Amino acid sequence: MSTERAASAESTSPLVSVRDLRTWFELRQWGFLRVGSVRAVDGVSFDLGRGESVAFVGESGCGKSSLARTLLGLHRPTGGEVSFDGYRVQDLAGRDLQWYRASVGYVQQDPYGALPPFMDVRRILAEPLVVHGVTDRAERERRIRRALEEVRLGPGDAILDQFPHMLSGGQQQRVVIARALVLEPAMIIADEPVSMLDASVRVEILNLLRRIQSERSLTLAFITHDLSTVRHYADRIFVMYAGRIVEQAQVDELLEHPQHPYTQALLAAIADVDAANARRVRDVPAGEPPSLLHPPPGCRFHPRCPHAMAGTCDVRDPGMFEPRRDHLSACWLHER
């Protein structure tokens, strides 16, 4: 925690500040009997600086998408708080809430599903503007074209009259990004923006996002399961497991000196293309991520952890330790 405070004191205040955020989903039987809560996000804290590009990495079900949706205001947090530009997001309403929604853009995973199939591109890009009261047609057209140019789809009217199904996957994702940009947000949350795209297109889209991020000095939060794409597109990484952040550090630091056993396992499972891969069996921790309905006590990774210490890891929650400078890890191994 001390490092975070130090960092924020150095620069200006962070754009996003999340403290002990919890997003739980209640499970009900027959529509009313509460039978428990799925703790999708369970006590997450971090700060995002202005113009910073970060990645949240984890397996499916680790809570990274729920975290993204909570940041977007799509889920109400169960506890904790999210501050954006100094305002408590939970308290926003009416015009302030619309301002917040305009300030945070959203890029989704499945570009085809993210675009209403019955609208043409012009309409799709006009929608956010209409919602935010840009009534002047010419003004809307101007902003739509600017966004399209920014994602390298314009100029030209051809694309504006196309329907999503007429576009390639890459073009669809560019439209999705243009829609996120059209309201000129301060932050973009991209949830697996390239996982449904072909390899050659992935790089294009990632480069595009990075370029836009640096040109507009946006805060960019990537949600991804793919550590290998992160290196070139994020400054900082948060590794999530079972609803918690288990490790965070600058990209190179984290990839070269992973501290948390989970991160180490994750990195070990990722192949860099090499014909020799076929001849070796990878170390994969046994078992599967725990149920978020009944997470294990103590460290949530302990049932799969090769270094689990009985009496500690299965009893007490690890706090955040700082085994290396500016490198945080939630593991008892790093208790000093």
Partner 1 sequence: MAARPLLRVEDLQLHYRTRRGIARAVDGVSFDIRANEALVVLGESGCGKSSLAKALLRILPRNVHSFRGQVMLGDTDVMALGDEAFRRDVQWTRVAMVMQAAMNALNPVVRVGEQVAEPLRVHAGWSRERARERVVRTFEQVGVATDFLQRYPFELSGGMRQRVVLAMALVTEPELVILDEPTSALDVLTQASIMNVLKRIKREQGTSFMLITHDVATSSEIADRVALMYAGQMVEVADADAFFHEPAHPYSQMLMASVPRLRQQTEPAPIPGQPPELIEPPAGCRFADRCPRRFDRCAREPEPLRVGERHHVRCWLHAGSGGAGGGGRA
Partner 2 sequence: MRRWLEGLRELRRYPSAIGGLALIVFLIAVSVYTVIAIPYSQALELWRGGEAWRMHPVNAGPVWVDRLLGGDKPDTTVVRSEDAETRSAAFDGGRQVRIPLSFDYPHDDFPSEINLFLETRDTEREAFVRLRWQTPDGDIIPLGGRRVAREDRISISQNQTLEGRLGMPPHVGLFARSTDAGQPVPDNGRYRLIIDAILFGEDASLEADLVVYGRVHGIAGTDHQRRDLMVALLWGTPVALAFGLLAAVGTTVTTLVIAATGVWFGGLVDATIQRLTEVNIILPVLPVLVMVGTLYSTNIWLMLGVVIALGIFSAGIKMYRAMLLPIRQAPYIEAARAYGAGNARIILRYMIPRILPVLIPTFVTLIPTYVFLEASLAVLGLGDPVLPTWGKVLNDAQTQSALYNGFYYWVIAPALLLMLTGLGFAMFGFALDRVFNPRLRTQ
The residues that touch partner 1, with contacts defined as CB under 8 A, are 59-60, 168-170, 198-204, 206-207, 225-229, 231-232, 255, 265-267, 269-275, 277-278, 281-282, 284-285, 288
d(CA 13, CA 15): 7
Instruction: Closer to partner 1 by CB, 183 or 299: give it.
Output: 299
Q: Count each helix (H run) and each strand (E run) in the chain, helices first.
A: 11, 12
The residue from 4, 59, 81, 127 that contacts partner 2 (CB under 8 A) is 127
- Contact positions with partner 2 (CB under 8 A) in 178-237: 179, 183
E-strand ranges in the chain read 16-29, 33-48, 53-57, 79-84, 87-88, 104-107, 187-191, 219-224, 236-241, 244-250, 321-324, 327-329
Site stretch for partner 2 (CB under 8 A), options 126-134, 148-156, 258-266, 304-312 = 126-134
Residue 90 touches partner 2, criterion: CB under 8 A: no
The residue from 86, 118, 137, 273 that contacts partner 2 (CB under 8 A) is 118
Instruction: Closer to partner 2 by CB, 28 or 211: give it.
Output: 28
d(CA 194, CA 104): 19
Residue 30 touches partner 2, criterion: CB under 8 A: no
At its nearest, how many Å lie between partner 1 and the CB of residue 313?
19
d(CA 76, CA 177): 25
Instruction: Closer to partner 2 by CB, 113 or 287: give it.
Output: 113
At its nearest, how many Å lie between partner 2 and the CB of residue 229?
20
φ, ψ for residue 195, nearest 5 deg: -70, -20
Partner whose footprint covers residue 17, from partner 2, partner 1, none (CB < 5 to 8 Å by kind): none
Is the alpha carbon torsion for 324, 328, 334, 336 positive or negative? positive
The CA-CA-CA angle for residues 177, 65, 242, to 5°, reads 155
